[in-house]
Amino acid sequence: MSLKYRLLKIGLFFCILTVGIGCDQTTKEMAREQLAYQAPVKYYEGLFTLAYYENTGAFLGMGENLSPYIKLALLIFLPFLILLGVTFHILKDQYSALYFLGFCLLIAGGIGNLIDRWMDGFVVDFMHINLTDGIRTGVFNFADVYITLGLCLVFVHLLRDK
């Protein structure tokens, strides 16, 4: 891999991370300012709702009753090590644009949520989708969207690669 390509890749990586983390942190701050201590705001007859939540657990609040030391290990240090490993993986070799973008989004989302956990002890979630009575999402944020989209892109790359 040429030096020019490697520098371009690193620059693109940091641009995606900066924009992704910046948007995530900005929207979470807006949620704190506009939605905390307010009634949920519903749009499109309740299809989309904005409401402020503090998630002290992991995905969908799992693990919120764990001891503080286990939470520190499982929700901060372990994800940090995984993100570090994934970062070295994606910057080391040449991959398809789909794979690279997918992992960049995964890393940006992971860092966005890690910032919250490290600074506040919880992750700010504020969006909810209710398609029908039985089909709805948990409450999520933009970091969660980046992680989900990133995983989808990586899986599409892996399926196309086979």
pLDDT, one tens digit for every residue, the chain (162 residues): 688 888 888 999 999 999 999 999 999 999 999 999 999 999 998 899 999 999 987 665 566 666 666 766 666 777 788 888 888 878 887 788 999 999 999 999 999 999 998 899 899 999 999 988 778 888 999 999 999 999 999 999 999 977
Contact 90, 104 (CB under 8 A): yes
Active site residues: 125, 144
Taking the C-alpha atoms of residue 144 and residue 63, their distance in angstroms, rounded to an integer, is 17
| Alpha helices per DSSP H over the chain | 3-34, 68-72, 78-92, 97-120, 142-161
Domain spans of the chain, in order of start: 3-161
Taking the C-alpha atoms of residue 90 and residue 5, their distance in angstroms, rounded to an integer, is 13
3-state secondary structure of 77: helix
